[in-house]
Structure 1
């Protein structure tokens, strides 16, 4: 199977469980070197009951691991019976992370590939050669696929510049056709972006702008003291932009949609497949749109050009980029929806226990919890601590209060809320900026901590250990920041 399918499609490959020549090989425990057997390439390919892969000419039985694969079962199954290297060229985090090979693959090694088959691995392509050039102001965490967070400078403005908006990609950025010719299968009706815009200009559809903050579900994953699987984000996987397009509910009415189903499903050109509840789409206050502009210009390629599904108040992954198909039906089965990738499991489920978990018992992330971040904290020569930052809560819940502490939480100071504080009830899609001044000239302070409360009374937990999960999702614990002095502020660093 072509490695290109890792990006484009082929979901839910199934295994037929039946006897085969490899059944008598002990697969659950690593074999002693003296007992390792040699496999022909044909034996690896023809195994029906056991899921075998080849890496650096070693053979591994990954049968017990596929359901725990952070990238989803459907992706790892594409490499079944073959070499993993061509597929890993799409996801270099495998080869860049020695932990993955040593801690995950090594215990599953069951043998080696026969000498005569060791030149059979196809060359690994470079699928990222056409990716867009990114701004130097972004903090690149992984270059391929690009995962980059917004820095201190990028977070200065309430509306994040498109070049500074955090980037979260699952693979290469699709080479989209011109926006006017891009066609979307909308509830079984093919429509071009140009046709949608014409309907808006003619008054048959209402064109609206929605200012909404987006945040990756793994934002602040790197702040958990206990390591969690996934991209090690700081606190910059969050940004705010003004999106322009048409409401999906208006498109439904225009197309006289009769489809049933409790879920709106959306498929991206890169193969991302997610569902959101139908009631979110049909809610007059839901503001779910098909967006074709970002901050007054065409959406950049990294952010979904030419059209993106914007689902305000929901985790970033539900805001599907490069939309190709939208329909109602049952909840889809995919790594992003029903797989491990975006499910918050109990704190006692670690990487050793996760393969035994029934994922169907847990729902995927939708609305995001309340959070807050200190962007800047500086003590001036006058002994006054000046802080600024932002707070945000998912589900359209506005920010009620933000507090900071210079004594580790023993006492608190209420901050002044700034931009974003007066958003409409139930439609507070954007973050709220805040500022504070505290006289600390008689106190020796080294750090400041922040917590927020939204209008529903939800507050942040004090410690990450209480919400840790194996995927490192939803870290909204109190945020601490080292305090800088006015004399060295120019040389200070965000975080």
Structure 2
């Protein structure tokens, strides 16, 4: 059992760096010879053996996708304090939450996704933890958590965090990186101080343009001279009253895998901006150039590109606000109504980066007609919004319920998104299967 688990976890690591080679190792070379993902010959037989049965719709499966049955086996890797997450990788630890476990208005800490870039620090205790603020400031700061609590107003906000690669598994041809499906999103209740208050206390100079963030996690190589990740944000985003330096999550200490004891929460932007295990904020007079700020990291082409096309590095832009998106959290996909029932309540959440959600619509006839859902206002900006819809199906059969959110600028979720080399910003509509027996 331990050897099998070790092997599966290794495949997850391989999928992060080379999904096509992972397909070849698991299912045979012929599986990945066709860029559209069609299984042929021995490849299909091998996959069927792995997942424990035939796959009627194998022609629809994209290359680079870890089959759910196999992914569920890797879930045997347990993370203390987490419940129900699907582990994608164990070095670094990355795990997502199935949509039906994200139905709470406030995401429980046990069900909040994990995205790590390096190895977490060994000590998470708040006593003795220090954070410095330096660079383009007149009054450099050296603060402990007690200093933050005593010197600045403490606030509690519901804020959504989403990985920039959430939805990457749906891209075809496959994009390298963790093969997130839908669950790299959470909406916890964060307690901390406003980053703008800290920056004002440091006396930012007129030359301040960007922040650079550093944490105590270490690079996977073990090289102390290399950072696992060091990203930042424009000063205007840092000064937003909803951008926090947080030390509590859902009324308790931060979970170690969610950045204990101190982190940034920059809601509405890729989660990579929200540095975990925070130890330093460097105020810069230019765009920060730390680890994973350049190349293709958290960047997308400035113009539409053909799937698989190579794009010059200078033609990429840094991702800022995340796009409008929605999630169906109830019922779970594959739901079957009781006999003699054709009515169903569907519910979920919607969010829109720096914007607000204006409307959510659902369809059960593959997008031919749409029904407007009831949409609740957020408790504060940057929290996701609850929506509900009551559907009545016209006859028995197989249905797909689609959800489509529209933001306050009029932008709506598409059926499919344009491909990009790193598989970012997939905000295509979420769909679930529903069966009506009679």
Shorter-chain TM band: 0.7 to 0.9
Mapping of residues 106-125 of structure 1, within 5 Å: none
Post-superposition shift, 1:443? 5.7
The answer to whether structure 1 residue 93 and structure 2 residue 14 are counterparts is: yes
Mapping of residues 142-157 of structure 1, within 5 Å: 142-157=89-104
Q: How far apart are the structure 1 equivalents of 2:22 and 2:344?
A: 47
Post-superposition shift, 1:439? 1.1
Partner of 1:391: 350
The answer to whether structure 1 residue 369 and structure 2 residue 323 are counterparts is: yes
Partner of 1:414: 372
Post-superposition shift, 1:260? 2.6
Conserved in 1, the CA contact under 8 Å of 2:264 and 2:274?
A: yes
Partner of 1:116: none
Distance 1:349 1:322, change over 3 A: farther
Q: How far apart are the structure 1 equivalents of 2:15 and 2:341?
A: 50
RMSD in angstroms over aligned alpha carbons? 2.6
Q: How far apart are the structure 1 equivalents of 2:154 and 2:330?
A: 37
Post-superposition shift, 1:92? 4.1
Partner of 1:195: 147
1:344 aligns with one of 281, 292, 300: 300
- Larger RCO (alpha carbons 8 Å, 6+ apart): 2
Q: How far apart are the structure 1 equivalents of 2:83 and 2:237?
A: 36
Partner of 2:6: none
Post-superposition shift, 1:442? 2.7
Conserved in 2, the CA contact under 8 Å of 1:372 and 1:391?
A: yes
Partner of 1:454: 407
Partner of 1:307: 262
Post-superposition shift, 1:353? 2.0
Conserved in 2, the CA contact under 8 Å of 1:375 and 1:389?
A: yes
Conserved in 2, the CA contact under 8 Å of 1:265 and 1:332?
A: yes
Partner of 1:275: 232
2:114 aligns with one of 156, 164, 167: 167
Post-superposition shift, 1:177? 4.9
* SS of residue in 2 equivalent to 1:363: strand
What are the ranges of 5 or more consecutive residues in structure 1 without an aligned counterpart?
A: 1-88, 104-130, 200-204, 488-495
Conserved in 2, the CA contact under 8 Å of 1:174 and 1:269?
A: yes
* SS of residue in 1 equivalent to 2:300: coil
Q: How far apart are the structure 1 equivalents of 2:80 and 2:282?
A: 33
Conserved in 2, the CA contact under 8 Å of 1:338 and 1:363?
A: no
Conserved in 1, the CA contact under 8 Å of 2:306 and 2:419?
A: no
* SS of residue in 2 equivalent to 1:245: strand
Distance 1:102 1:132, change over 3 A: closer
Mapping of residues 38-437 of structure 1, within 5 Å: 92-93=13-14, 99-100=20-21, 133=80, 135-187=82-134, 188-199=140-151, 205-258=152-205, 260-270=207-217, 271=227, 272-283=229-240, 286-329=241-284, 330-345=286-301, 346-348=303-305, 353-354=310-311, 357=312, 359-377=313-331, 378=335, 379-380=337-338, 381-395=340-354, 397-418=355-376, 421-423=377-379, 428-437=381-390
Conserved in 1, the CA contact under 8 Å of 2:162 and 2:268?
A: no
* SS of residue in 1 equivalent to 2:409: coil
What are the ranges of 5 or more consecutive residues in structure 2 without an aligned counterpart?
A: 1-9, 25-77, 135-139, 218-226
Conserved in 2, the CA contact under 8 Å of 1:450 and 1:478?
A: yes
Q: 1:305-349: CA deviations, max 9, x gaps? A: 110011122111111101111021121224422221211125536
Q: How far apart are the structure 2 equivalents of 1:101 and 1:139?
A: 18
Q: 1:206-230: CA deviations, max 9, x gaps? A: 1111210111111111122432221
* SS of residue in 2 equivalent to 1:275: coil
1:470 aligns with one of 402, 421, 428: 421
Q: How far apart are the structure 1 equivalents of 2:390 and 2:16?
A: 47
Q: How far apart are the structure 2 equivalents of 1:100 and 1:273?
A: 29
